[in-house]
A = this chain, B = another copy of it.
Amino acid sequence: MTIDTSLFPAGFTPDQALGKRAAVIDVLRASASIIAALQHGAREIRLFETPEEAIRKRDSSAKGAVLLCGERGGKRIPGFDIGNSPSEYGPARIRGKTLWFTSTNGSRAVLKAARTAKQVIIAGFGNMAAAASTLISGGGDCILICAGKEGRFSLEDAACAGMLAERIRAETPGVCHLTDETLTAVLIYRHFKDDLPGLLQGCEHGRALRQIGMGRDLDTCAVTDASQVVPACRRGVLRLLNV
């Protein structure tokens, strides 16, 4: 199998995902928030590209029945119920609920990949082993799509893609081809693998989150293999895989 990676959201085109299994990676912080929400019993998470679209649709058809979730510039969107901190997605608030979610980077990347990919899942450090198993057992080529930060490269997504590629390769010896972008991701991961919390504290995106008072989320997002949840996208909605 070939493991391709899109390190850079502005360069990703849906044809790169055509016929492949895709894992969208948004370490800070959509991956962790979405995994937490489904772990804690959210019924489903519908993705929106813009806050305006989510607000308009809720006002016209579903007022009160859903929680509006997401961020712009790292902060909760005015009028929304929940932001993009995994700490906000606890069971008391989430269980049985329908979430409508929009983030600057992650939700857009998922919707773009879903146009052409055979399957789209969400991956982060938290569900690393489960995401790797899903991609391996599904068979065929895959692409690891880094959501980035406002259209730009992000080091932490690349490192997470590199870890995922290493895990897949370790479990499918001798049959994996890594593209140049995947090799780059692997080199970044190897550099930081003994200190993922340090990576998240020091990278540009992590420093920006600390500056707006969201630094408490960084250690949460660095925790590896804590969840077996694999969110999968179908028709713009994320649910637990095979549920």
CB contact list, A176-197 vs B, under 8 A: 179-181, 183-184, 187-188, 191
A142-159 with Cβ < 8 A to chain B:
151-155, 158
Contacts of A62 in B (CB 8 A): none
Q: Could you say which interface size class chain A belongs to?
A: 20 to 34
- Shortest distance between the CB of A148 and any CB in chain B (Å): 9
Min CB–CB distance A210 → chain B (angstroms):
15
**Complex-state Cα separation, A25 to B214, whole angstroms:** 37
Within 8 A of B (CB), among A5-53: 7-11
B180 touches A11 (CB 8 A): no
Determine the distance from Cα of A7 to Cα of B9 in the docked complex, in whole angstroms.
Answer: 12
Contact across chains for B8 and A184 when beta carbons are under 8 A apart: no
Q: Does A66 contact B (CB under 8 A)?
A: no
Q: Does A204 contact B (CB under 8 A)?
A: yes
A153 touches B184 (CB 8 A): yes
Residues of B within 8 A of A183 (CB): 155
Where the two chains meet, the residues of A that have a C-beta atom closer than 8 Å to any C-beta of B are 7-11, 151-155, 158, 179-181, 183-184, 187-188, 191, 203-204
Q: Which 5 A-B pairs have the closest CB atoms?
A: A10-B11, A8-B8, A155-B180, A187-B187, A180-B204
